[in-house]
A and B are shown apart, each in its own frame.
Chain A
Amino acid sequence: MDTPQSRSAWNILKGRRGLWLAAGIALIGLFFWGLATAPSLTTATAAPKPRDTERVLARASIPITDNQLKVFANALDIVEQNYAEPKTNKDLVYGAIQGAVGALDPHSSFMTPEEFKELQVETKGKFSGIGIEITLKDRNLIVVSPIEGTPAFRAGVKAGDQIIKVNGTPTKNISITEAVRKIRGPKGSHVVITINRPGFAKPQDFSIVRDIIPIHSVKARLIEGGYGYIRIANFQDQTSRDLRNYLQKMRQQTPPIKGLILDLRNDPGGLLDQAVMVADEFLSHGLIVKTEGRDARQRMSFNARPGDVGDREPFPVIVLINEGSASASEIVAGALKDQKRAVVMGTKSFGKGSVQTILPLGDGSALRLTTALYYTPSGKTIHEKGIIPDIEVKDAHVALGKTPEKLRDEALDRHMRGEGLTDKPWDKPLTEEDIKNDFVLKKAMEVMRNWPPKELAGKPST
């Protein structure tokens, strides 16, 4: 029987609880439209479902005994009859499924039909908005930056603008989630945001027509002296393609870049296939990652293929990780480390070594289940262990005892002044001065300029 469940998408992002960590050091208050509320990123392609009876029964052992089912039916009945307020049995069963799935691991969860629908919309990149990143600063809703080429950008919204109203409703005490929800809407519809900006005599209304907003998870800059810097914020549909574009452009420079820094710090992960493709970009052969699950379809090996920009003439690569680098980031860092293609610098990564699959249920709801664990080429599990960097470098700011809140504000302020690492066009090289605030990157550049690193005699690439 052909069960198309294997086509369900992979999702390997950390669960809600990991989010604070993902929100580590850099611009954490930032949210892209649509990604704001979703605890994770996934391409939940709802596979066509086999007929229900077949699904329920296509196995020998029954997951719940008839006695248990009787007890459950009884409990359902008692609640339906006696709870203080009427409840539908559907809501009750949703609660029950949530509870059963919750007993498994922190990354498994249940989605109601509405939540599942929202997730699909968001991950297909079809959501529309006006194209600004926003954050809360001192309880004010602030534009972090308008995304180039979007309606907000064309309307003249600027980084640092304070949004005081959305469609006339004050944003006082609003949460990011709520703000996102209010500003987002169908393509072609319009939203009025009232903006206060130093220099305005009084707040001004901007009426902006919503459009589809492209999301780029990859940002890049050249570094003085013929090097490249690429930052991956998360792993989504376009990530490997965007990475390849930048790599190509960097290698087509005359002379081509001599080395690359791949920044995966605070990258919470995303899609497994994208992680594999990103690692493949730098590897010509050999294992990238292996997954192990109880279901046969979840046992897979992913191998690199030759012919990519990053593996034709291997140049030095340094991967930066920290405790906010998780899942897909750890696959890339682990593969490049184990295959000795890159030197990994920074601090130990988060340690999320599991793969989640979205499994649609009969009534439009869905399960997000941890279906496999993954292993780096050397056979190590990442789960709860993380990737240990080849060269440990602690962020000097953290060592100085600055709180994450303070670091976030500082990073935001730098960005508002256009001094963030990726705030200028990619081909304008970063200077020593530009990276002085980023201790880890500064260290990495020292290692890069003195390649091969003496810290690891005989170990690294090229």
Chain B
Amino acid sequence: MKKRLGQGLLVILIVSGGLTATGASDTSSDYEALRLLTEALNEVATKAVTQKKDQELFHGALRGMMSSLDPDSSYLTPEEYASYQRGQQGSTAEAGIELVFKDHLLTAVSVLDGGPADRAGMRAGDHILKVDGHLIRNITTQEGERLFRGSAGKILKLEVLRNGLVKPLDLSVTLETLGPPLPKVKMLKDGYAYLRLPYFSNDLPRQLAQELSSLSKGAPPPKGLILDLRNNARGSLDQAVRTAALFVGKQKVVTTRGRKSGTDQSYQGSDSEQVLKAPLPLVVLVDQGTARAAEILAGSLQHYRRAVLLGDKTFGLCGLTQVMPLQDGSALLMTVAYCYTPGGQKISNDGLKPDIEAQKPPEDDTKPLTSPVPNPENDPWVKQAVEVLKSGRAPSS
């Protein structure tokens, strides 16, 4: 008994020593928190059937702490951080999906139109249970993304759970090097135009500017435009701001707010970037696969009443992340600020609510509504958007 107490003192001293070293503000509650962690790790170390190296438990703990924050926050082990710093150019082939690890599931937020995952049959909202036979659990979004990168031609065998299906699906996806996503334009009946943005990229604002200006110079110019941002979860804040400027000029596009200094900022483009000057009624299609840059763009267009949003609530994933190195060579990748629309509405977690909810077809609910169909003329949401444009409810200034 005496001996045990002796060890107890040692551990307590170590704990408080660690705290003074880092200068924690609330020592007693931090002590409690650390004591609880030690207690849990102790139970695991003595009783669990699977014996893990201390390092694995420790990394698991940090990973768990970070992914409990939000899907964009991750922990990088020293090796992972080193490769993160080297950049991710090494393996450029990918599956064409955007993933998040949320509620203990690795979920495809969006699937790139015509990309490898799309062709393999994956749909936005699918949960990935297994990759090459390995159960996906307790990972971070970062790690999940790494699993879906590699050399071109690499085949991933996936077990995928889809809402509405009892049994998981087996899919196999071949990684490919993808070119930049191109906006797709299609003229619909009755003089309306449909414009699809699959993902954002650095070059997208320029390409979109070209498409928009050739549309508005058309003879006759379209009576209205449907901008399809469904199933679009890839893109940076900067790309979103430059894209939004095509529509709103120098008006504020998005604000970020956090607690760390320097994270409170507003972002806007310039008047010279504005392409769409003549009034053109605009309907933006959004859904659960609309996230990040697409949410920033949709949020600003909605705020300035430049467009009506039609569809479903958006995913709600928009923040600024920063890397914070730790003393052992590992690092935290952490959301330091959330995005807010120009009207001050938070995008992260809450998502954007559409102005007009899409009418869901009464039956056939196993079929996901989220993926745009190849021919927009047959897409029920596009049809509904055309009706909105015809009724004159879409703003045009």
Contacts and interface: CB of A to CB of B under 8 A. Distances in A.
Contacts of B324: 78, 82
A110 B45 contact: no
B258 A57 contact: no
Given A63-B41, A98-B64, A93 B34 contact: yes
Contacts of A362: 35-36, 39
B40 A73 contact: no
B7 interface: yes
A97 B61 contact: yes
How many B residues touch the partner, as a band? Answer: 35 or more
Contacts of A363: 32, 36
Interface string A28-60: 100000000000000000000000111111111
Contacts of B66: 79, 95
Contact of A108 (B1, B24, B37, B48): B48
B37 A101 contact: no
B280 interface: no
A453 interface: no
Contacts of A65: 54
Given A82-B259, A83-B335, A93-B37, A103 B65 contact: no
B18 A66 contact: yes
Contacts of A77: 22-25, 30
A84 B40 CA distance: 28
Interface in A60-74: 60-74
Contacts of B259: 81-86
A89 interface: yes
Contact of A95 (B1, B17, B68): B68
A143 to B, nearest CB: 21
A416 interface: no
A74 B365 CA distance: 48
A403 B52 CA distance: 40
A403 B135 CA distance: 24
B165 interface: yes
Contact of B69 (A73, A87, A104, A405): A87
Contact of A104 (B42, B52, B62, B327): B52
A433 interface: no
A74 B326 contact: yes
Contacts of A71: 58, 62, 326-328, 330
A294 B48 contact: yes
B64 A100 contact: yes
A58 B33 contact: no
Contacts of B26: 89
How many A residues touch the partner, as a band? Answer: 35 or more
B165 A64 contact: no
Contacts of B274: none
Interface stretch (B8-16, B211-219, B388-396): B8-16
A367 B39 CA distance: 11
Interface in B153-168: 161, 164-168
Contact of A105 (B49, B75, B167, B168): B49
Nearest to B45: A63
Interface string A277-314: 00000000000000001110010000000000000000
Contact of B34 (A63, A73, A298): A73
A95 B135 CA distance: 20
Interface string B333-348: 0111110000000001
B327 A56 contact: no
Given A57-B8, A82-B336, A359 B58 contact: no
A16 B63 CA distance: 20
B50 A73 contact: no
A99 B49 contact: no
A296 to B, nearest CB: 10
Contacts of A52: 35, 39
B147 interface: no
A232 B188 CA distance: 59
B260 interface: yes
Given A79-B332, A371-B48, A73 B22 contact: yes
Contacts of A76: 24, 30, 33-34, 65
A30 to B, nearest CB: 13
B334 A103 contact: no
A354 B49 CA distance: 9
A72 B43 contact: no
B166 A369 contact: no
Contacts of A87: 69
A405 B167 CA distance: 9
Given A77-B24, A84-B258, A103-B60, A58 B4 contact: yes
Interface centre among A75, A79, A357 (most CB of B within 10 A): A75
B165 A298 contact: no
A99 B38 CA distance: 13
Contact of A56 (B21, B35, B49, B330): B35
Contacts of A110: 40
Contacts of B365: 139
Nearest to A64: B41
A87 B58 CA distance: 21
A82 B38 CA distance: 24
Contacts of B41: 63-64, 97, 100
Nearest to A103: B60
Nearest to A383: B49
B65 A75 contact: yes
B33 A92 contact: yes
A93 B166 contact: no
Interface in A340-399: 354, 357, 359, 361-363, 365, 367, 369-373
A72 B30 contact: no
B64 A373 contact: no
A73 B326 CA distance: 10
B44 A101 contact: yes
B42 A63 contact: yes
Interface of B: 1, 4-5, 7-8, 11, 14-15, 17-19, 21-26, 29-30, 32-52, 54, 56-69, 73, 75, 104, 129, 135, 137-138, 161, 164-168, 257-260, 263, 319-320, 322, 324, 326-328, 330, 332, 334-338, 348, 365-366
* 4 nearest CB pairs, A to B: A99-B64, A95-B68, A103-B60, A102-B138
16 contacts: A17-B129, A17-B135, A56-B8, A64-B41, A69-B34, A70-B21, A74-B22, A74-B327, A75-B75, A81-B260, A97-B61, A100-B40, A103-B52, A103-B60, A294-B46, A372-B49
